[in-house]
Homo-oligomer: A and B are copies of this chain.
Amino acid sequence: MTVLKDVSGGVALWRRIVDAIRLDIIGGKLAEGDRLPTEAALAERFSANRHTVRRALAVLADEGVVGAEQGRGTFVRSARRLSYPIGKRTRFSEGLAGQARMLTTQHLGDRLENANATVAAALGIRAGSKVVRLDALSSADGKPISRATTWLAYRRFPDVAQRVIGGQRMTAVFASYGINDYSRASTRISARHADVEETQLLGLAPGAILLVSEAVDVDSDGVPISYALSRFPAERMELVV
């Protein structure tokens, strides 16, 4: 069992306890329905006061991860994380089908931009070229699971925004441009803390961790067609290669 020492490094003890308990849950040490150790025991384990443990449990209870019952104890409510598959032929909605009852993608906005160095390199175009930027938020059963920004070359996909707003999936949008097949050329995965905007949009607690994936899709000739920067809440999603 993990024990936290009194190394305060800018992260409050109650938050480190939140993270530690969440880790026990998603790591399988505590299964759905299990009873957590008593507050006194947790206080002992984390060398913290019971007040501090209670504050941590309150946060988890607020998220619906655990629930306290007077006189009985605190129980694990939901331990599930969604698995997002990554591979040559990754399709967002297909990959998650079966893991959630309802999958929705909300269009947040679109605009014309000049490609910065990163986007230009990914799409194989000149820096400063016109690109269409699409912003979207995806949810599974009402819970946000991904905040994605996608860039496409304006030259090849001038009115992609209209077609996306029409409610079509990217697969269908690409098909409408005559691209009947495409595949994943590369995926870079990193992790960082969520910023304020992401925290709000994804419905996370401040300090939450995001899995960040930068993906380049190419058409059947190997020409890059899109560069997508997706941010997944690490507490709700994992990526499977």
Contacts and interface: CB of A to CB of B under 8 A. Distances in A.
B207 A209 contact: no
Nearest to A233: B191
Interface string A23-44: 1001110000000000000000
Interface residues of A, number: 50
A153 B10 CA distance: 41
Contact of A241 (B18, B23, B28, B189): B189
A188 B11 contact: no
A19 B192 contact: yes
A161 to B, nearest CB: 25
A209 B206 contact: no
A16 B12 CA distance: 12
A4 B189 contact: no
A239 interface: yes
B10 A15 contact: yes
Nearest to A234: B191
A2 interface: yes
Q: How many identical subunits does the complex contain?
A: 2
The binding surface of chain A is classed by DSSP as mixed
A166 interface: no
A137 to B, nearest CB: 18
A70 interface: no
A187 interface: yes
A11 B19 contact: no
Interface stretch (A100-108, A142-150, A193-201): A193-201
11 contacts: A7-B199, A9-B207, A10-B12, A10-B205, A11-B193, A23-B192, A184-B241, A189-B240, A189-B241, A190-B238, A191-B191
Given A10-B11, A189-B241, A190-B234, 17 more contacts: A2-B197, A7-B196, A9-B206, A10-B15, A11-B206, A12-B12, A19-B192, A28-B118, A81-B190, A187-B240, A187-B241, A189-B211, A190-B211, A190-B238, A191-B210, A192-B234, A209-B209
Interface of A: 2-5, 7-12, 14-16, 18-20, 22-23, 26-28, 81, 83, 86, 117-118, 184, 186-193, 195-197, 199, 205-207, 209-211, 234, 238-241
